[in-house]
Amino acid sequence: MEVHNLYKMKALNIVFFFTCLSIFSFGQHTKEQCSKEAIFQRHLEIDENALEELAETESQLQKIIQNFRDNPEQKQNSNIVIPVVMHVFHDGDDGKMDMDQIQSGLKILNEDFNGLNDGWNTIDPAFDNIKGTMDINFCLASIDPEGNPTTGVVYHQDPQGLLNEGNLFRHAWDNYKYLNIYFPKYTGGEPSDFTAYAYFPSTAGSDLNQGGVFYSSIRWGYGNHSILEEGDDWASVCTHELGHWLNLYHTFQGGCSAANDFVGDTPPTTGGTIELSDCNNNDFSCGVHTNGENYMDYNHRCKKMFTLGQVERMTAALFLPSRITLWSEENLLATGCIDFYTSNDKMNSSLPVKVYPNPASDQLFVDLPFEASWDFELFNLKGELMFKEKISSKKYTFDLHDYHNGLYYYIIRNEEYNSSGKLSVLHN
């Protein structure tokens, strides 16, 4: 009980979960908590059990972590894909970042999580043994909740779509199917001190479609609307926020206390309170070497790594009820991230399967490279399973008469291999 109460006290300080930062200016920097209290208050109004749920989620998470340690084979930690929708609020051109800038921010996010960032090779060697990466990609959805094509970016002409003003959540797409990232409108860079905040995994939040990330479009990636110079690590604050979204706390949470961030291998640090200067804050603020290059520190001009312990915690978070549906195969089909999924050669084996003709009208032919117990599955654009059958021979013919004209996805797989793709049905 002591531990529980202690946890709850701690939770009070960290719940709903922000990085709310001012940008450096004139060589000086300040940090402001800006609207943390307002947002937290709003969340408690929505969900008075928020603190209890947070404790419950932590307990679930610890069980998942323990289970993975006991049964490593149950841990899927490769080729995770998360469908994303971005809501960009603007007034004419004001606040309207373009697709190039959006893609640039997404690229940074994906490179960082996968250890493909420029800074990866210059991490302080003291942390070589604990630096970790995830095999995860954030994919702009190409199918919307109604099953229609989308760019994954929704532009909202809305001069009132400001941070903490107006209910931006009313635009949310199903939180169990999409990670929602909101970019409130900025007029002439105001309010200039906000970078981002994120919501931790929460079933109550997902039930209400009130989770996701809020982000400043002037600090997302590089490009037309960004104030960041190309290469500025400040753009990796997105990685920090997605760390929160996957249940990571700041490395300096709880200061020098041993249990500070619920991760075993991150060295304790006073992080956010020490003087930060590019990559030179690897000091000894808690008597041990500080991992100032960690994404979850507040050293936003020097962001390079997660630790293995943080990766374990984020991987476990993917199995929480509010996250596990996002990266399911059905959902990747439903959100149009299947292309991304199939383009990854780890997921899509180089199996010489022939599926033809495409487009097809009456019959579809499947040639398999060898006899085995194959599953043939056909999905519609919403990701609903339309048909499933076992194939045990090398040749298979599928009758398409009952299928309307349109686009479908197929998956052919056995225990070792799979192959998938789009199928166009076009009756004469």
From the candidates 53, 241, 312, 377, which is the catalytic residue? 241
CB of 18 to Zn ion, least distance (A): 6
CB of 264 to Zn ion, least distance (A): 20
- E-strand spans in 75-143? 80-90, 131-132, 136-140
Q: Report the candidate in 314, 316, 280 with the shortest Cα–Cα distance to residue 124.
A: 280
Residue closer to Zn ion, measured from CB, 200 or 374: 200
Signed CA dihedral, 161, 323, 47, 64: sign only: negative
The conformation of residue 288, written as its DSSP 8-state character, comes to: S
Helix (H, G, I), strand (E, B) or coil at 393: coil
Buried b / exposed e along 288-324 (16+ C-beta atoms within 10 A): eebbbbbbbbbbbebbbbbbbbbbbbbbbbbbbebbe
According to DSSP, the β-strands at 18-19 and 131-132 are unpaired
CA atoms lying within 13 Å on the CB side of residue 252: 20
CB of 300 to Zn ion, least distance (A): 10
Cα-based distances in Å from 35 to 180, 192, 193: 20, 13, 11
Residue closer to Zn ion, measured from CB, 104 or 299: 299
Catalytic site includes residue 241? yes
Helix (H, G, I), strand (E, B) or coil at 170: helix
Residue closer to Zn ion, measured from CB, 198 or 391: 198
Residue closer to Zn ion, measured from CB, 53 or 261: 261
Helix (H, G, I), strand (E, B) or coil at 10: helix
Which residues sit at the interface with Zn ion, rule CB under 5 A? Answer: 19
Residue closer to Zn ion, measured from CB, 144 or 241: 241
Q: Cα-flanking dihedrals φ and ψ of residue 111, to 5°?
A: -65, -45
Give yes or no for a contact between 185 and 95, defined as CB atoms under 8 angstroms apart. Answer: yes
Residue showing the smallest CB distance to Zn ion in the complex = 19
CB of 12 to Zn ion, least distance (A): 16
CB of 32 to Zn ion, least distance (A): 13
Which residues are tagged catalytic?
A: 241
